[in-house]
Amino acid sequence: MTQSDAESQQFELEPWDPEQLLSTREPHEIRYSMGFLQSKPENWFPGLGAHWLPLAHSMGIELKVVQVQPTFTQPEHDTLGFVASVDDEPIALVAESESIYRFLETVVPSARGTAGSIVAEYFARRFISSLALCWSGPDSSVVRFEPELNPADVRSFASILFDIQLNGVSCRFWLQMGRVLVERLDGLWRRQVKSSTSLNLKPAPVQIEIAQLAVSAHLISDYTKPGTIIDLEVPVTDEVRIASKDDMSLEARLVNVDKAFVLEILRAAPVPVEIPADSVRLQVLLGSFSPIGVSLKELLSGKTMLETGLPLGNEVLLSIGGETVAKGQLSIFQGRFAVTVLA
Amino acid sequence: MENLRIKSLAPHQRALVAIAVLLDGHEAAEYLQNDSVHGNSLARSSEELAKIENKLRLPLLGTFLRAAVDEIDASKGEES
């Protein structure tokens, strides 16, 4: 639907402000979004269950692993922990005090005070040792328990969160690690994904599409006339479609990283609907960019993020068959996207 | 029994070895040996204890553990 200049006076258009409307992410979340943050650490420790299940069974404890999640979040409350090192880089196994209390209440209900803290320390040592013994990655490492270091001495860059249940009681602990180890795990995961997948995407331009319309061929000039307001008839959203000329078509969420558009990949996009024979497909594009060194499988492996290099803004391109036919400003009209065609 | 290595350890390490062997028996050494400072002594002490006959081992470990915890608590009391 389009509106002429005169009629547009009645429209109450509000500019689409990506800085206000998009969620923000930190630059390091992009950097590790295809490696460390996507990784499934449990895959690297295939025999871990054999170290823990017999002990849990002998103690009459049902052990359930709810979640193992690489993360940049840290515990929110007071923590207790123990320090180890991987190839001389300190790591820390920490848990919130309340979680340690619940753990000890379940595992050794009678252990209090000193006895409880020693039991906790032994389980921490046991956990770190069992990780070292089960490691199945390509490079071996020297893992040591460091009794003379304090968790506060560890420069934690990221963590792996372990969320477990013991007899239904929830306990969470974080394996905090420094940048060197995070880099190693990030690279390892990316190499493993790439070794089992297709080649990187061709460095061809990828379009970021806000919406597309089927427009009767004889109305094209109306749609591209400066001052025209086009109601895109889609609700305002942060989701877009990205597509290249060859075969890639994905749905993604726009996020704001340092005032630039970044795409958080969500899923493969459905095939666009056919348009009537007497119509053309008018695309409303935020712009285009060329992803480098990324494979499609990596993109689809989770909430991976792609930098676009496009600064935040609300200028869009109207495109037909790959040709830009006009520029516009993206706005909001009654909760829907609208475009004002610019001169 | 007189010359058990565990007796030469500090109270904290004694308590640790006792708990380790109580829970993991012969495998305790595997989990203790990577201590960057006391790895050898912890592992050897636990190996030695794990070899003791079960019937004797469990009460002995209980005794070591209680004594070590009491010593730690007493030293904390003195410090405060």
Nearest Cα of chain B lies from the Cα of A85 at a distance, in angstroms, of 9
Q: What CATH number does the domain containing A184 carry?
A: 3.40.1550.10
Confidence band (pLDDT; 50, 70, 90) for A260? very high
A85 and B23 within 8 Å at the Cβ level: the answer is no
Residues 41-80 of B with CB under 8 A from A: 65, 69, 72-73, 76
Query: Same structural domain for residues A210 and A313?
Result: yes
When pLDDT is averaged across residues A141-155 and rounded to a whole number, the result is 93
Contact list in B for residue A141 (CB cut-off 8 A) is: none
Average pLDDT, integer, range A51-70: 95
| pLDDT single digits (tens) A266-303 | 988 888 778 888 899 999 999 999 887 777 777 777 77
Last residue of a domain, one of A167, A195, A223: A195
Query: Are A154 and A251 contained in the same domain?
Result: no
Interface test with A, best of B9, B19, B27 (most A CBs within 10 A): B19
> Do residues A72 and A156 share a domain?
yes
pLDDT attached to residue B76: 84
Assign 3-class secondary structure to chain A.
CEECHHHHCCCCCEECCHHHHCCECCHHHHHCCCCHHHCCHHHHCCCHHHHHHHHHHHCCCCEEEEEEEEECCCCCCCEEEEEEEECCEEEEEEEEHHHHHHHHHHHCCCCCHHHHHHHHHHHHHHHHHHHHHHCCCCCCCCEEECCCCCHHHCCCCEEEEEEEEECCEEEEEEEEECHHHHHHHHHHHHHHHHHCCCCECCCCCEEEEEEEEEEEHHHHHHHCCCCCEEEEEEECCCEEEEEECCCCEEEEEEEEECCEEEEEEEEECCCCCCCCCCEEEEEEEEEEECCCCCEHHHHCCCCCEEEEEEECCCEEEEEECCEEEEEEEEEEECCEEEEEECC
Confidence class of residue A202 from pLDDT cuts 50, 70 and 90? Answer: low
| Whether A217 and A334 share a structural domain | yes
Q: What is the pLDDT of residue B80?
A: 65
Cα A342 from Cα B20, distance rounded (Å): 74
Distance CA A206, CA A286 (A): 11
Residue A91 C-alpha from the chain's centroid: 24
Domain that holds residue A116: 36-195
Q: Which among A195, A212, A228 is the end of a domain? A: A195
Taking the CA of residue B23 and the nearest CA in chain A, the distance in Å comes to: 8
Count structural domains, chain A. 2
User: What is the pTM assigned to this prediction?
Assistant: 0.82
Q: What pLDDT is recorded for position A339?
A: 96
Confidence class for position A175, pLDDT limits 50, 70, 90:
very high
Please tell me whether residues A178 and A41 are part of one structural domain: yes
Instruction: Write out pLDDT tens, residues A106-116.
Output: 998 877 789 99
ipTM of the complex: 0.95
Cα distances (Å, whole numbers) of residue A297 to A29, A41, A68, A244, A251: 19, 18, 22, 15, 14
> Mean pLDDT across chain B, nearest whole number?
94
Percent of chain A with pLDDT over 70: 94
> Which of A91-95, A289-293, B41-45 bottoms out in mean pLDDT, i.e. has the lowest?
A289-293
**Do A274 and A181 share a structural domain?**
no
Short-list A306, A201, A314, A310, CA closest to A263: A306
* Rounded-to-10 torsion of CA A317, A321, A325, A328: -20
User: Is residue A20 domain-shared with residue A143, that is, in the same domain?
Assistant: no
pLDDT band at A249 (very low <50, low <70, confident <90, very high): confident
Lowest mean pLDDT among A193-197, A326-330, B34-38: A193-197
Task: Read off the pLDDT of residues A158-174 as tens digits, 9 standing for 90 and up.
Answer: 999 999 999 999 999 99
Average pLDDT value for chain A: 90
pLDDT at res. A172:
95
Checking if the pLDDT of A51 tops 60, the result is yes
pLDDT of residue A8 exceeding 60:
no
Residue A84, min C-alpha distance to chain B (Å): 9
Statement to judge: residues A125 and A231 lie in one domain: no
Residues of chain A with Cβ-Cβ distance to B35 below 8 Å are 125, 144-145, 147
Nearest to A277 by CA among A213, A212, A217: A217
Distance, CA of B32 to CA of B17 (rounded, Å)? 8
Split at pLDDT 50, 70, 90, the class of A2 is low
Residues A47 and A152 both lie in one domain: yes
Domains of chain B, residue spans: 10-79
Shortest Cα–Cα distance, A74 to chain B (Å): 26
Residue A103 sits in the same domain as residue A208: no
Task: State mean pLDDT over A60-77.
Answer: 92
pLDDT band at A6 (very low <50, low <70, confident <90, very high): very low
Q: Are residues A328 and A314 in the same domain?
A: yes
**Which residues of chain B have a CB within 8 Å of the CB of A115?**
15, 65, 69
- Dist. CA B67–CA A273, nearest whole Å: 77
Looking at A144, A163, A195, the residue that finishes a domain is A195
Nearest to A144 among B31, B36, B69 (CB): B36
In this predicted structure, what is the pLDDT of residue B42? 98
pLDDT band at residue A1 under the 50/70/90 scheme: low
pLDDT, position A138: 85
Q: Does residue A198 carry a pLDDT above 90?
A: no
Check A143 against B32: CB less than 8 A apart.
no
